[in-house]
Structure 1
Amino acid sequence: MTRWRNIAAAASLLLTAGGALAQPERSPVAIPATVPASALPAADALFTDPALKETRAVIVLKDGKPIYERYAPGYGPGTRLISWSMAKPITSTLIGFLVADGKLELDTPAPVPEWRNDARAKITLRQLLHMASGVKHIEAGPAPERADTNRALFADTSADIAKAAVAEPLEVPPGTRFEYNTLTTHILARIVSDVVAPGATPAERKRKVRAFINDRLAGPAGMASLLCEFDPQGNLYGGSLCFATARDWAAFGQLYLDGGVVAGVQVVRPDWVRFVTTPSPTNPGYGGQFWLNRKPANGKDEALFWRAGPPDAFAAIGHLGQYVIVVPSKRIVVVRLGKTQDDVLQPVRDGLAKLVNSFEPKGSLAVSK
């Protein structure tokens, strides 16, 4: 993308003999006068403050243009970085394409054959997207080896992650309780595969779904590095395992900041952008696989920074401190990628809140703080 040309040229001069990048203190880009003076130190702090480590990449876009880009040693513009649960909004976007194509409907029963003859038959696609299916899934807990997500990703049920995801029983009526869990998104990913590649072999299933991702999302959105993984049955790891460069994660955020439009082309329908960023009935802090900067149902600080605002911010968030934060009122996208244990993430959230809130809302005459 042309907006990265100067950055890429400068970065290429920083390659060492071992192939690692000796990173600059700040990105080699022109900083517009409208960028607040406190923004760059707030972004730098994500690398320099010991409480905020380990940050591996930070990018800030303002009005679609990069104003900050920095990497930890050993990482650079070409490094694909793991999504963890930032894959969930990717899967949601794929579902959105199929809804737009008329191949899926939000408020009809989710097309899961294993659920046709029991109470789960009433679960809708909307409820799956809102993490309110009512199905019993264990995301985490004191015995991580027993958690459904860990077993399906890394242990005894990993040979067919979709089979494991749809096998669990109903625990509460659909649409009555928010229960964040990764296997719900793997069910959504299985639905994508079933629609895109019905009856296909695992290899053909994988090929067709990957082509669908490239043709509908990665290509049009300028995310050439996007690579999502599949299980042995050809099921997309739609809740956890996608990889992309920091720049391409920023491009994903910009896609949603611009209402689904890229270079004048409507890639994601505006009604889907509205849907995924609208508070869900069972949790105001969650939309359609995106986290919202609203007070969550449990009142805890575990996603964004609802106590600090702004209320229109929303984000793709992943395990160990992966963030793509979109703030329409300030016309910014903030990407932070790294490896910070989840139980010590609050300083990172505070640091991101400070960075986001260093920018004035669009239209404000103030340019610094």
Structure 2
Amino acid sequence: MIMRPASLIALALATSSLASCGSPGPAEEPPLSEEALAAVTEDPGAPTRALARAADELFTLDGLGETRALVVYHGGALAVERYAPGYDKDTRFVSWSMAKTVTAVMIGMLVADGQLRLDAPAPVPRWERTGDPRAEITLRHLLQMRSGLEHSEASDPPYESGEVRMLFLDGRDDMADYATAQPLEAEPGAQFEYSSNTTVILADIAARALTDSTDPDVRRKAVADYLDARLFAPLGMTSVVPEFDRAGTLIGGSLIHATARDWAKLGELLRNKGSYRGEQLVPRAWVEEMVEPSPQSPHYGLQTWLNRPTGEEQHPLFPDRAPESAFSMIGHMGQYVFVSPTQKLTVVRLGHSNADERRAMLQQLADVVELYPET
């Protein structure tokens, strides 16, 4: 039998169609574990399975480091809670630099109390001597990390960094004394220089606003009692353990311990602009000030990181994947309390990730955040 051209074409098309039917489609996603599904609440405010998978991958994907805790609140309700083996809802996690935002909240309450002034010269006795150029440093300069004080946050070798020397070497007994003794390397207000030492200066200023005593025990108690009475107790943050140096100064840039749930409570307070159950614990205007960009750093406010683009490729957050109004407490090795008011969202991720792992982990965290629309 001789086949006509039209018949040949039809046969070729049929063969092609049959072949395509047998071709493999997109790879199926692996089934979700019971643990992944159990971490998501009944009404999480986002597609349950997508949220469970995005959260699960923070714990299971290679190259992200170790996620030890994840807590997500949406609209004031718990949406996700999960812990790595060895950790649970009662585990206290170290803040590292998330403590800086706590210090900023304390300073804001003292400003509201009339104890401190934001744009007045910082009340540091050492700088008040005649002719000292550091007298031009204001409280705002310190809060925005633009004091101009000589500093290196990280060095190679590490023991040469100003932060390490203050925390662990020659400054460890009286950290504020070490930090305030540094000379200027730039005009106050002129440049952004991230500095844990600056936050210890703020913590010392707070202690001296609360007590005239130089007795370490008195200073320690004054600050601890103030934070507990005005912030932690009203919020129900019962797990918080702040650390102090030998001089009684809060190590306000690095060392506050709390559970993941309690870190989420603080994030929720800031999302609600300082209000909790109808009580204004922190002035609304102060929380708004905390998330205003510094003149020298669009991605930094008052001891708080902002999700604002900087024009540079590297960013501590993900401005291309979440609203510019979002902000975060950020701590060493991957501690985050990420707050997005327009998404009614607070996300706490605590764990241990190096620099490369953090970049990958942040994109996975953004996968969680992107499941929630702006409202």
Aligned position for 1:35: 46
Aligned position for 1:354: 367
1:79 positional shift: 0.4
Give 1:301's match in structure 2, choosing from 305, 309, 314.
Answer: 314
3-state SS of paired residue (1:51) = coil
1:26–1:69 contact (8 Å) kept in structure 2: no
**Is 2:98 aligned against 1:86?**
yes
2:269–2:276 contact (8 Å) kept in structure 1: yes
Indicate the larger mover: 185-194 or 142-151: 142-151
1:230–1:237 contact (8 Å) kept in structure 2: yes
For residues 59 and 118 of structure 2, the distance between their equivalents in structure 1, rounded to whole angstroms, comes to 41
1:29 positional shift: 5.8
Deviation readout 1:108-127 (Å, 9 max, x if unpaired): 00001111131000100011
**Is 2:270 aligned against 1:256?**
yes
**Is 2:345 aligned against 1:332?**
yes
Give 1:71's match in structure 2, choosing from 78, 83, 90.
Answer: 83
Scaled by the length of structure 2, what TM-score is found? 0.88
1:197 positional shift: 1.9
1:99–1:106 contact (8 Å) kept in structure 2: yes
For residues 74 and 247 of structure 1, the distance between their equivalents in structure 2, rounded to whole angstroms, comes to 16
Aligned position for 1:96: 108
For residues 36 and 164 of structure 1, the distance between their equivalents in structure 2, rounded to whole angstroms, comes to 51
2:68–2:350 contact (8 Å) kept in structure 1: yes
Aligned position for 1:315: 328
> What amino acid is the match of 1:136?
E
Q: Identity over aligned residues, as a percent? A: 45
**Alpha carbon RMSD of aligned pairs, Å?**
1.5
For residues 42 and 293 of structure 2, the distance between their equivalents in structure 1, rounded to whole angstroms, comes to 34
For residues 59 and 231 of structure 2, the distance between their equivalents in structure 1, rounded to whole angstroms, comes to 31
| Larger Rg, first or second structure (1 or 2) | 2
1:358 positional shift: 1.5
Give 1:237's match in structure 2, choosing from 221, 241, 251.
Answer: 251
Indicate the larger mover: 111-120 or 27-36: 27-36
1:348 positional shift: 1.1
2:151–2:162 contact (8 Å) kept in structure 1: yes
For residues 141 and 263 of structure 2, the distance between their equivalents in structure 1, rounded to whole angstroms, comes to 26
> What amino acid is the match of 2:216?
P
Q: Which runs of 5+ in 1 are unaligned?
A: 1-22, 363-369
Note closer, same or farther for the CA distance 1:50–1:211 as it changes in structure 2 (3 Å cut): same
1:39 positional shift: 2.2
Aligned position for 1:57: 69
**1:201-220 to 2 correspondences below 5 Å:** 201-220=215-234
3-state SS of paired residue (2:63) = helix
How many equivalent residue pairs? 339
2:36–2:53 contact (8 Å) kept in structure 1: no
Aligned position for 1:121: 135
Indicate the larger mover: 105-114 or 337-346: 337-346
Give 1:281's match in structure 2, choosing from 272, 275, 295.
Answer: 295
Aligned position for 2:28: none
1:300 positional shift: 4.3
For residues 133 and 84 of structure 1, the distance between their equivalents in structure 2, rounded to whole angstroms, comes to 21
2:45–2:372 contact (8 Å) kept in structure 1: no
Scaled by the length of structure 1, what TM-score is found? 0.89
For residues 218 and 188 of structure 2, the distance between their equivalents in structure 1, rounded to whole angstroms, comes to 33
For residues 358 and 211 of structure 2, the distance between their equivalents in structure 1, rounded to whole angstroms, comes to 39
Q: Which runs of 5+ in 2 are unaligned?
A: 1-33
